[in-house]
Amino acid sequence: MSVLVDKKTRLVVQGITGKEGTFHTSQMTAYGKYVVAGVTPGKGGLKYKGNEKDKFKYTVPIFNSAEEAVKKTRANTSVIFVPPAFAADAIIEAAEAGVKVIICITEGIPASDMVRAYRYVMDKGIHLVGPNCPGVITPGECKVGIMPAFIHKPGRVGVISRSGTLTYEAVGQLTSLGIGQSTCIGIGGDPVIGTRFVDAFKLFAEDKKTAGIVMIGEIGGTAEEEAAQWVRKNYKKPVVAFIAGQTAPPGRRMGHAGAIISGGKGTAEEKMKALKAAGIRVVKSPADIGITMAEALGVRIPKNKKQEKSSKKTAQIDRKKNKKSKKKEKKKKK
């Protein structure tokens, strides 16, 4: 089973003939035959095969508008590789065309534009993922976005993440332990996003074959705390969480536009505390995500992996001891 994208996905790529659109469409066409259309105003009628550097596995018809593309190809999902100044309009155009899932990869969309697009999409009951996200993949079935396909494996663990890079890290660990993924959702790190943690949890809760969820959050906002409250009341399967930005100073943005501690709110400590209170397994290091999920699912862990974890714990204990001894030395000198 899966959520958002699967074998029934019929994908239209908005901004397909641009550099990013062409490259990532070449990767998606290599993954499966679900890309049915592309949209670039003024290039309607073109049968696009990519370019010399990034060739498609099959020809994709280009249309002038999302509406025309959906009518002619019955596309039900859109992925957006449109420049930031026009991306919000592309989201609205896809919604007006009648697609049910919109995945916006574009980074740097003005917040005011996203507020407008978000309201429009939500009023129509459409699933919007992103912006500023890696996309969504159901391994072995459909990849919509920019994530590396080869690290994924079909299976029963869902992944929800604000960070693209840490998503790949978590997935790599799960796959190396023989744990496949049902669907991986990169929700994005901007202040205004279409799918929050709670929304993604609700989708996975309806998928009976998803046996557990990996959640990767980061500092800023209250999305993780809201998810913790929802999980405590509604979700009984294993959840493993990691919060990025544990050493971030207040007032400084860390990577994503939404990753900032302001007014004393949104700290990693607060989020980790809320998650633990909800019964979620919280790891301090991203290196422990995979092995912690394996333990939660009762998956047999190879001896070498156990040794790696124990050596990491020993190193952490040693570091704490060294810090304490240094503090004592300073006090004695004073």
Convert the pLDDT of each residue in 54-74 to its tens digit: 999 999 999 999 999 999 999
**Is the pLDDT at 326 greater than 80, yes or no?**
no
**Is the pLDDT at 252 greater than 60, yes or no?**
no
**Is the pLDDT at 255 greater than 60, yes or no?**
no
Q: How far is CA 188 from CA 14, 72, 115, 301, in A?
A: 19, 31, 15, 31
Q: Is 24 a catalytic residue?
A: no
**Is the pLDDT at 242 greater than 50, yes or no?**
yes
Q: Which tens digits make up the pLDDT trace of 151-208?
A: 999 999 999 999 999 999 999 999 999 999 999 999 998 999 999 999 999 999 999 9
CA separation for the pair 283, 199 (Å, rounded): 23
The pLDDT score that the predictor gives to residue 307 is 52
Q: Are 4 and 145 in contact (CB under 8 A)?
A: no
Q: Which residue has the higher pLDDT, 315 or 143?
A: 143
Q: Peptide bond before 191: cis, by omega within 30 degrees of 0?
A: no
CA dihedral sign of residues 80, 90, 191, 230: negative
Q: Are 315 and 288 in contact (CB under 8 A)?
A: no
2: its two tokens: 């899966």
Collect all residues with Cβ–Cβ distance below 8 Å to 249 and sequence separation of at least 6.
261
Q: How confident is the model at residue 264 (pLDDT cuts 50, 70, 90)?
A: very low
Q: Over the chain, what is the mean pLDDT?
A: 90
Section 12-16 average pLDDT:
98
Phi–psi pair at 180, nearest 5 degrees: -85, 175
The pLDDT score that the predictor gives to residue 245 is 85
Q: How confident is the model at residue 142 (pLDDT cuts 50, 70, 90)?
A: very high
Domains of the chain (ranges; CATH) run 8-131 (3.40.50.720), 133-327 (3.40.50.261)
Closest CA to 112 of 79, 80, 85: 85
The pLDDT score that the predictor gives to residue 308 is 60
CA separation for the pair 267, 220 (Å, rounded): 7
Catalytic residue among 24, 127, 152, 256: 256
Element (H, E) at 275: helix 268-277
Q: Which residue has the higher pLDDT, 199 or 267?
A: 199
